Structure 1
Amino acid sequence: MSLFLSRLTLSNAPSVAALKRLIDPEERGRAQDAHHRLLWSAFAGDPDAPRDFLWRAEGNGVFFVLSRRRPTDSPFFRPPEVKEFAPALAPGDRLDFVLRANATRTRKTGEMTASGKERRKHDDVVMHAIRDLPKGERAEARMGAAEAAGRAWLDGQGSRSGFGVERAEVSDYSVVALPDHRGPRKRQPQFGVLDLSGMIRIEDPVLFIDSMAQGFGRAKSFGHGLMMIRRATLP
């Protein structure tokens, strides 16, 4: 399986600058939706191809992309900076990481689908952790819950993906609402976003790289799930 890690930077051409408020809006939900559509312009060879890339916005028009195909030239981006992603990993290797993820837990609903399967719902792990608190106490408890629930979620990802968690911190937790919703505001689609960093220990290199290619968590189309790694600096 070939993988490519690319750095894509918005073009500074006047024709692109004129569209900046559309392709790189300030409001976060709109930005994630616009960036999702924008990045397709670098992978537009087959209009029927499924999304086979993960991406992460770094700000200032810079994106990192992990893909199974090389990105192509796009009028919206400078020529892509691309390298093959094939890290030489061995069990016991330690890596520093950063990860922006929509972390959820799956629960059964008791409802059945037309095909006879039980419906499942994906709950944000932080909202689930504070759901029983009075509404007036949730804001104060949210970051503490994010630290605990984020670490537990990452431990679960590691057990299925060939790594153990040595250290993990949550630098931010936020809730993002998707734009263009019509109807009652309380039904507007939204999801939680955890920004995690720390150190992991590789246990199964092949499984880990395969899991990296799949991404971690949900809402991957909107810039979540791409784990960025580098060799850990050990004392």
Structure 2
Amino acid sequence: MMYLSRLRLSRDPKVAALNALLDPTAESERLDAHHRLIWSAFAGDPQATRDFLWREEGQGVFLVQSVRPPESSPVFDPPDVREHLPDLRVGDRLSFLLRANATRDLRGEKRRRVDVVMHLLHDLPKDQRNGKRMDLATEAAAQWMAGQGSRAGFVPDRTDVQDYRTVTLPGYKGRRRGEPRFGILDLTGQITVTDPDAFLQKLAQGFGRAKGFGCGLMLIRRA
């Protein structure tokens, strides 16, 4: 069983007075703060590992997919919770919305993991990267989604890139030059289910990396 919840920051004036801490302007600080906020709704067991995925919707609203319903939290209004267990068949076509940190492993003398868009951009001269950024993001996203589908029981029919940006790793305080960053793709499109069990298992686990920072949750509806 899974649950899909909508959490909204409390509009109580005592909580609203903390907005600068709960919802910082700088994106890396905001992702870190939001991760801690979501944990407050699942903090009943201090030994529990993260068993939820989430994404920020803006204006203090978050969508959360979890294996247990969120608990009451003083920083959130009462949550809107519903059971989430899609009934899928082979051939079902779904529209999706996904915020993903898309990476791939490069094998060579030393195995390393790279962001799929940064990897393509790296091959271009620096003065051409801004102009080619979204074209290469679209190319990389399509290839990445095809790879995800081959392992997770679906075929991507269409993958559209709404946005691609890079974010400094939360907590980094060093020089700007050479700072550790990760990429975030905002994707929409359509997929066709080929293996419902494999797809539902992956849907629960999430897609890509950086799940603690609001990536990986795929929202679906019938096309």
**Short-chain TM bin:** over 0.9
Matched, 1:128 2:122: no
Matched, 1:173 2:172: no
Give me the whole-angstrom Cα distance separating, in 2, the residues matched to 1:221 and 1:103. Answer: 14
Give me the whole-angstrom Cα distance separating, in 2, the residues matched to 1:229 and 1:81. Answer: 18
C-alpha distance 145-70 of structure 1, shift in aligned 2 (>3 A): same
Q: Are 1:98 and 1:198, in contact at CA under 8 Å, matched by a contact in 2?
A: yes
Give me the whole-angstrom Cα distance separating, in 1, the residues matched to 2:108 and 2:172. Answer: 25
Give me the whole-angstrom Cα distance separating, in 2, the residues matched to 1:206 and 1:179. Answer: 35
User: How far did 1:122 drift?
Assistant: 1.4
Give me the whole-angstrom Cα distance separating, in 1, the residues matched to 2:157 and 2:151. Answer: 16
Which of 135, 151, 163 pairs up with 1:144? Answer: 135
The residue type equivalent to 1:171 in the other structure is Q
Give me the whole-angstrom Cα distance separating, in 1, the residues matched to 2:96 and 2:60. Answer: 22
Which of 180, 194, 203 pairs up with 1:203? Answer: 194
The residue type equivalent to 2:139 in the other structure is A
User: How far did 1:181 drift?
Assistant: 1.6
Give me the whole-angstrom Cα distance separating, in 1, the residues matched to 2:78 and 2:174. Answer: 41
Give 2:17's aligned residue.
Answer: 18
C-alpha distance 77-109 of structure 1, shift in aligned 2 (>3 A): farther
Matched, 1:75 2:74: yes
Give me the whole-angstrom Cα distance separating, in 2, the residues matched to 1:76 and 1:109. Answer: 47
What is the DSSP-based 3-state SS (H/G/I as helix, E as strand, rest coil) of the residue aligned with 1:69?
Answer: coil
What is the DSSP-based 3-state SS (H/G/I as helix, E as strand, rest coil) of the residue aligned with 1:186?
Answer: coil
What is the DSSP-based 3-state SS (H/G/I as helix, E as strand, rest coil) of the residue aligned with 2:171?
Answer: coil
C-alpha distance 13-109 of structure 1, shift in aligned 2 (>3 A): farther
C-alpha distance 108-184 of structure 1, shift in aligned 2 (>3 A): farther
- Structure 2: segments with no counterpart, 5+ residues: none
Q: TM-score, normalised by structure 1?
A: 0.92
Matched, 1:106 2:97: no
Q: Deviations over 1:145-174 (max 9, x none)?
A: 000000100110011001111111101110
What is the DSSP-based 3-state SS (H/G/I as helix, E as strand, rest coil) of the residue aligned with 1:71?
Answer: coil
The residue type equivalent to 1:136 in the other structure is D
The residue type equivalent to 1:193 in the other structure is I
Give 1:65's aligned residue.
Answer: 64
Q: Which runs of 4+ in 1 moved over 6 A?
A: none
The residue type equivalent to 1:200 in the other structure is I
User: How far did 1:109 drift?
Assistant: 5.5
Identity of aligned residues (%): 56
Which of 154, 159, 174 pairs up with 1:183? Answer: 174
Q: Deviations over 1:184-207 (max 9, x none)?
A: 323422101111101111111111
Q: Deviations over 1:9-63 (max 9, x none)?
A: 1110111101101011122111111100110000001112111100011001111
Q: Are 1:11 and 1:77, in contact at CA under 8 Å, matched by a contact in 2?
A: yes
Q: Are 1:33 and 1:178, in contact at CA under 8 Å, matched by a contact in 2?
A: no
Select between 54-63 and 176-185 the one with higher mean Cα deviation.
176-185
The residue type equivalent to 2:103 in the other structure is T
Q: TM-score, normalised by structure 2?
A: 0.96
The residue type equivalent to 1:18 in the other structure is A
User: How far did 1:110 drift?
Assistant: 2.9
Q: Are 2:31 and 2:170, in contact at CA under 8 Å, matched by a contact in 1?
A: no
Give me the whole-angstrom Cα distance separating, in 2, the residues matched to 1:28 and 1:182. Answer: 14
What RMSD over aligned residues (CA atoms) do the two structures have, in Å?
1.2
Give me the whole-angstrom Cα distance separating, in 1, the residues matched to 2:96 and 2:195. Answer: 17
What is the number of equivalent residue pairs in this alignment? Answer: 223
Q: Deviations over 1:95-153 (max 9, x none)?
A: 11010100011123535xxxxxxxx3210101111212111111111110000000100
